[in-house]
Structure 1
Amino acid sequence: MTFITDRRSALKLSIAAGVVGLATPQIMVRAAYAQASSGPINNPGLSSFKLGTFKLLTLNDGLVASDAPHTTFGVNQDPADVAALLEENFLPADRAMNSFTPVVVNTGGDVVLFDTGLGARARENGGGLLRERLQAAGYNPEDISVVVLTHFHGDHIGGILEEGQPAFPNARYVVGRTEFDFWTAEDRLSGATENSARAVQASIVPLAEKITFIEDGGEVVPGINGLLAAGHTPGHMIFNIESGGSRIVLTADTANHYVASLRRPDWHVRFDMDKEAGAETRKRVFDMVATDRVPFIGYHMPFPAAGFIEKLEVGYRYVPVSYQLLL
């Protein structure tokens, strides 16, 4: 993989609730920035590789440090067990780091962007770097022809508008019908879903005329198909990408932590709206990835967010890519 490190992207992160402001605390821990006790965090920004005739690019939209991982991962477990699992895997028991990874797939005919990151509201705290990093990779916002939204949480739709206007003015949009119908239902505008639903009303609904709705198995462009992977949200989708006999799977938020969510897929994640369905989907998706021996890209995996899966007696082992995708 090719890495580009931007010195300006050394981040001073924080943990103050609600900076992103596109979802309720029950849905988005990732909206919390504050001064990280570890100080500036180096953030490599870009990684590119080929898949058949397609060119893929992962972009780090920001990093967030947080306390008390057990309040997010393994919320149905004894905190001591969560701490033990993290420590066994050479991670601190009391701190965690989250990253956000939109993906560009250049098919030669289309430039497809998967998810739009945290957006402008996160920039004062070191996030919302998607536009900057697209340009560093040689893409202008006008070059994006298709924007795909895996689901409607704030860290995935936050960058779809820029100063109230479409951030990618020449793009059409592809979203799952189930996700759109869920978040735009009138009764979502109150209760636990209110903040996220209002964000959808403000940023997604105005673009409806340019949206292509897909169901389970639906095509985005030739070589890219969406698969329903519900649990994190009711319409959460993953995407199968194939070109020239090669294949990769974009798993979006199926797993949110490369240890806690993969070594223990049954453990509940705070931000999975249906926690049992989320656990079942994790097992189904990563059984497939492991059995088929294909690489995957996970939105919250450690940057560059690409790896392989080994199935264990209990759970899975995450194997980061090295040079496999360069050959």
Structure 2
Amino acid sequence: MPSHVITRRSAIAGLSALSASVLTSARAIARAPQINTQAPAFYRFKLGAFELTIVSDGPLGLGAPSDGIFTGVSAADFTSILNDNYLPSASVEMDQNMLVVNTGDRLVLIDTGDGGSKMFGPKSGRLLSNLKAAGIDPKDIDVVALTHAHPDHCWGLIAADGTPNYPNAQIVLTQADFDFWTDEAKAATGDMMKAMIGGTRRNLVPVRERITFIADGQEVVPGIRAMAAPGHTVGHTAFVIASGGKTLVNTGDVAHHHIVSTQRPRAAFSYDTDPAQGVATRLKVFDMLSADRIPMVSYHFPWPGLGFVAKQGDAYRYFPAPLQTVL
């Protein structure tokens, strides 16, 4: 082979030698301390005249892939799905994406995260610090709208010392969810239910006088309307946000995993109260969103959970929305 021909091996060798030379000369710079912290997790965008901010409570963990997290998806199948999509397969994590809607007149927070509970791992409980980083004072929240009363959606209402985190906010959710998840009789059905009922009572009962029950189609504030989406819980609710001819749906827990819940939408989630109803609701909501190309914020999809679903055969595909660097 002629000496002037550059092979892949010789090119790599040359680059390695160059890199070694550069690294040697830059050694002093490389001693700068690593920061080892992540930037605050909030993302702000416009919807018509409304200003929307997605704020993270951090990820929650479901542990290793196992049989039964989704019906009909075995541990081996789930692991394969994760590997095929370049996702960590040793442990399943899902984000928690809260949405703050500033209508210009009212400040509405949808869901509150888990308040730092360790039930689903050590990485959550970051909502208050991320709200502060986003310039949002919890005392300024006018309405806390709960999609449902599961730990990772309402346990952030009350601080560890028993004081309300959103002291001036009206709280809205369905009566069906309030009654179900504060029913002490259900605590006798198992350790998990005991923990869930106990924690939910701690967060909802002390603020009962500030709770208003909402129904399907009811307006929370002008521009935000409740949409019944039951199945995951008895009173699970999505919120339709509309301004200036633009619409977005906060889907809550209509879906949980951005791959499994879209590519296998008939696979129920293990924490669904009524699995069959949860599947029917997911198909109905996804069909609506895909037919009308309506963007959504999905609570557990990868941060910040803003994107679209499109119909693909008898399933769907999730498309994350491009994030803007300038508002």
TM bucket by the smaller chain? 0.7 to 0.9
In the other structure, the counterpart of 1:33 is none
In the other structure, the counterpart of 1:130 is 127
Asked whether the equivalents of residues 217 and 228 of structure 2 are also in contact (C-alpha less than 8 Å), the reply is yes
Deviates more, 1:299-308 or 1:83-92: 83-92
In the other structure, the counterpart of 2:110 is 114
Q: Matches of 2:59 and 2:290 in 1, distance apart?
A: 27
Alpha-carbon deviation of 1:97? 2.3
Q: 1:66 to 1:154 in 2, by over 3 A?
A: closer
Q: Secondary structure at the match of 1:125?
A: coil
Q: Percent identity?
A: 40
Alpha-carbon deviation of 1:9? 8.2
How many pairs align?
A: 290
1:173 aligns with 2:171: yes
Q: 1:180 to 1:67 in 2, by over 3 A?
A: closer
Asked whether the equivalents of residues 50 and 325 of structure 1 are also in contact (C-alpha less than 8 Å), the reply is no
Q: 1:76 to 1:137 in 2, by over 3 A?
A: same
Alpha-carbon deviation of 1:60? 1.2
Which ranges of structure 2 fall in alignment gaps of 5 or more residues? 1-33
Instruction: Give the partner amino acid of 2:276.
Output: E
Q: Matches of 1:66 and 1:184 in 2, distance apart?
A: 24
Alpha-carbon deviation of 1:104? 0.4
1:292 aligns with 2:292: yes
1:69-122: per-residue Cα shift (whole Å, max 9, x none)? 244543333433333333333334443221111110011111100111121445
1:95 aligns with 2:91: yes
In the other structure, the counterpart of 1:19 is none
In the other structure, the counterpart of 1:182 is 180
TM-score by length of 2: 0.82
Instruction: Give the partner amino acid of 2:64.
Output: A
Max Rg structure? 2
Alpha-carbon deviation of 1:141? 1.4
Q: Secondary structure at the match of 1:82?
A: helix
In the other structure, the counterpart of 2:239 is 239
In the other structure, the counterpart of 2:149 is 152
Asked whether the equivalents of residues 56 and 104 of structure 1 are also in contact (C-alpha less than 8 Å), the reply is yes
Q: Matches of 2:324 and 2:66 in 1, distance apart?
A: 34
CA-based RMSD of the aligned residues comes to: 2.4
In the other structure, the counterpart of 1:34 is none
Instruction: Give the partner amino acid of 2:80.
Output: A
1:238-272: per-residue Cα shift (whole Å, max 9, x none)? 11100010000001011110001111011121111
Q: 1:326 to 1:295 in 2, by over 3 A?
A: farther
TM-score by length of 1: 0.82
Q: Matches of 2:140 and 2:68 in 1, distance apart?
A: 37
Q: Secondary structure at the match of 2:92?
A: strand
Alpha-carbon deviation of 1:65? 4.7
Q: 1:277 to 1:212 in 2, by over 3 A?
A: same
Alpha-carbon deviation of 1:126? 3.6
Q: Where do 1:174-213 residues align within 5 Å?
A: 174-192=172-190, 193-213=193-213
Q: Secondary structure at the match of 1:297?
A: strand
In the other structure, the counterpart of 2:55 is 59
Alpha-carbon deviation of 1:276? 1.4
Q: 1:223 to 1:90 in 2, by over 3 A?
A: same
Q: 1:8 to 1:275 in 2, by over 3 A?
A: farther
Q: 1:326 to 1:43 in 2, by over 3 A?
A: closer
Q: 1:171 to 1:67 in 2, by over 3 A?
A: closer
Alpha-carbon deviation of 1:156? 0.9
Which one of 132, 137, 142 corresponds to residue 139 of structure 2?
142
